[in-house]
Amino acid sequence: MHRSAPRLTRILACAAVPVMLVAAGCSSDSDSSGGSTSAPSAAAGSAAPSASAAPRPSVAPPKYTDLPDACKAIVTKTVEELVPEVKKKSGTPGKSSDMASRGSCSWNGLDDQGVDGSDYRWLDISLVRFDSEQALGSGEQRAQEKYTEKVAEVKATEGATDLRNSGAPGVGNEATAVSYALKKTDSKFRYAVIVTRTENVVITISYNGTGYAGAEPPAAADMMEGTVKAAKEAVAAVASANK
């Protein structure tokens, strides 16, 4: 089949120009065969614009940014009431690498009544504060999760008997009271524990005691009453530390 004169003229003209120009203007002859020529694309190598990801909603800032001194979160008078003959009224602080986020303290004492027996008491407090983090959630949300975990942990205390739990109205935003008995060193110890959340802080108060040399173990109701009192003071101390 013979090419038409106009088409032959075009081919010869393209052959006479530099190769780069041929690639740009003479590389296709598809228009004469009935095919459609595609529209020029964007600059070579440029990627098509992608839809920008929707921004994450920002988490609420934490209400509390500080913690009180754990050994001062329960007033001295209450410590003396709960722990007769307390060895160290100022308490023994626990180790912490970040006092603004975590703190603890404990007290213990033995009230020796000679032939009438002896009463031993132990009181401790733990405070954990949570910051708001975009990837983990608000401080309050994280504290709620920790509160739930801590309550479950206390309820699952190994060897606990006569376990009872209930809510503790009037203590923080939410609180659970757990009471149980635990045998240690041939003596029956009675435990009263309050786990409470106040905004983005989780507080755990644990109070336990026993009787030696014929003294009776403390009553569960008395132990819990003292624990609730200490928990309320700790909640108030957190609020005061952030004024």
Whether residue 25 has pLDDT greater than 70: no
Of the two residues 151 and 185, the one the predictor is more confident about is 151
Sign of CA dihedral 126, 118, 162, 184: positive
Average pLDDT of every residue of the chain: 84
pLDDT greater at residue 38 or residue 60: 60
CA dist 106 and 205 (Å) reads 10
The model's pLDDT over 86-101, given as tens digits with 9 standing for 90+, comes to 999 999 999 988 989 9
| Domain spans in the chain, listed from the N-terminal domain onward | 1-28, 70-241
User: The whole model's pTM is what?
Assistant: 0.77
pLDDT given for residue 114 in this prediction: 82
CA atoms of 26 and 10, how far apart (whole Å): 9
**% of residues, the chain, pLDDT over 70:** 77
What are the Cα distances from residue 197, in Å, to 2, 21, 109? 93, 76, 28
pLDDT score at 38: 45
Topology of domain 70-241 in CATH is Protein Transport Mog1p; Chain A (3.40.1000)
Q: In what order do the strands lie in the sheet with 161-167?
A: 92-93, 102-112, 118-129, 201-212, 187-198, 174-184, 161-167
